[in-house]
Every structure is written in C-alpha cells, then in structure tokens.
Structure 1
Amino acid sequence: MHPFRQAVEARDEEAMAALLADDVVFTSPVAFKPYPGKPITAAILRGVMRVFEDFHYIREIADAGGRDHALVFEANVAGKKVTGCDFLHMNDDGLIEDFMVMVRPLSGAQALSEAMAAQFGRIQAEALDEISAKQA
C-alpha cells in the first residue's frame, strides 16, 4: 500500500503533508490552473478531507519503477457520489512532486467545485499561515 494512501486512510494530515515535495504541483479536477507548492497543496488536501464524506480508496495501480501511482477512490460530496483518481508522480527522494486529481461524473465534479469554493478562503489562509511560519 502506498504511504500516501495509508496517510489518507488514517486521516493523518501531518503524514500526508510530509509526503509532499516542497515544489509539488497540484492539479485540481475543478480549477483551471495548477497550484504550485507544498503549503497550498497541503491546505487543499485538508479542505478536501473536510468536504468528502465516506471517502475510501478502491484500487491502487503502480508502474514497475514505483514512481507513478494511481489511487482510485469513491466518496460523497453534498449528496453526490463521485469516483475519482489521484495520480501521483514521485521525485528521486520518493516525495510527491506531481499530484493530479480527476473525478466523475460531471454532477459530482460540480458539487466538489462548489464545496471547495466555499472552503477556499480558509485554504488560502492556512497556506499563508504555513508560509509565514516557515519565514519566521
């Protein structure tokens, strides 16, 4: 089992963040532009944990070299069932440097978009707090 999957299933936010490279790039299923950096990615993941209900992984696929992983999941968002996939690419240190998420169906993606939009002020504030704490 991939360590990120273990961290998510344990709802261990610190372990999840520890697996992210400082220069990780997060590509959302509902936002146009990617989000670069560990602080915003970790904050987005915490936000997702707040909006997903009954989240669970159902399948894990890895390449032979161990640098690429696909973690297929199911969850509910605002009463809509979603199926999605976390695509992870690991750097030379074994940390996640590219994190892309896709979800379906469209109604579920729309519910996720609305739920995350409601969280985004908090997500941005958490990311800025983390950046400020590192600079202090």
Structure 2
Amino acid sequence: MHPFRKAVENRDHAAIEALLAENVVFTSPVAFRPYPGKAITAAILRGVIRVFTDFRYVREIGSEDGRDHALVFTAKVGDMEINGCDFLHFDEEGRIDDFMVMVRPLSAAQALSAAMGAQFDRIKAEALAETEAADTASEGER
C-alpha cells in the first residue's frame, strides 16, 4: 500500500503533510487556478477529509519509476456519491510536488464545490497560520 494512501485512509494529517514538498502544486477539480505551496495544500486536504464521508481508495496505479501514482477513490459528499482520482507526482526526495484531483459525476463535483466553498475561510486561515508558524521557525533558526 502506498504511504500516501495509508496516511489518508488513517486520517493521519501529520503523515499526509510530511509527504508534501514545500513547492507542491495542488490542482483542484472545482477551482480554476492551481494552489501552490505546502500550507494551502495541507489545509485543503484537511478540508476534504472533513467534507468526504465513506471515503476509500479502490485502486492504485503506479509508474515503473515510482514517481507517478494514481489513486482511484469513492466517497460521499452529503448524500451524493462521488468517484475520483488523485494523481500524484513525487520529487527526487520522494515528496509530492504535483497533486491533481479529478472527480465525477458533475452533480457530485458541484456538491463538492459547494461543500469546500463553505470550508474555504477555515482553509485559508489554517494555511495562513501554518505559513506564519513556518516563517517564525525559520527566523528562529537564523
């Protein structure tokens, strides 16, 4: 089982975040622009964990070199069933530097968009707090 899959299925936020590169880019299935950076990506993933119920991965597909991975999932958003896939690319250190999600059907994608929209003020606040904490920590190292 892939370490990211294990972390998500265990709802282990620290393990998920540890697998993200600082320069990760998250491409949402419901937002026009990608989200660059570890803090916002981690906060979005925490929001998704709050929104999805009955989440489970049903298939793993990996490249021969292990740097590309696709994890097919099913979940619910409210009472809507959703199918999707997490497409992950790993950098030289084995951290996720590109994270793209696709979902179907359209009605479930719309439900996901609404549910995540309701979470987004909290997501932005969490990302800002993480960024400020990282900045404070790096200032203390100087």
Tell me the TM-score normalised to structure 1 length.
0.99
2:11 is aligned with 1:2:
no
Aligned to 1:120: 120
| Aligned-residue offset at 1:134 | 1.0
Aligned to 1:13: 13
Gaps of 5+ in 1: none
Describe the SS at the equivalent of 1:129.
helix
Task: Tell me the number of residue pairs that the alignment of Structure 1 and Structure 2 aligns.
Answer: 136
Taking only aligned residues, the RMSD between alpha carbons, in angstroms, comes to 0.4
Structure 1 counterpart of 2:20, which letter?
L
1:94-126 CA-to-partner distances (Å, cap 9, x unmatched) read 000000000000000000000000000000000
Equivalents in 1 of 2:135, 2:94: separation in Å? 25
2:73 is aligned with 1:76:
no
2:67 is aligned with 1:67:
yes
Misfit runs of 4+, over 2 Å = none
2:86 is aligned with 1:49:
no
Equivalents in 2 of 1:8, 1:132: separation in Å? 25
| Aligned-residue offset at 1:35 | 0.1
Equivalents in 1 of 2:95, 2:135: separation in Å? 22
Greater gyration radius: 2
| Aligned-residue offset at 1:78 | 1.5
Gaps of 5+ in 2: 137-142
Aligned to 2:31: 31
Identity %: 68
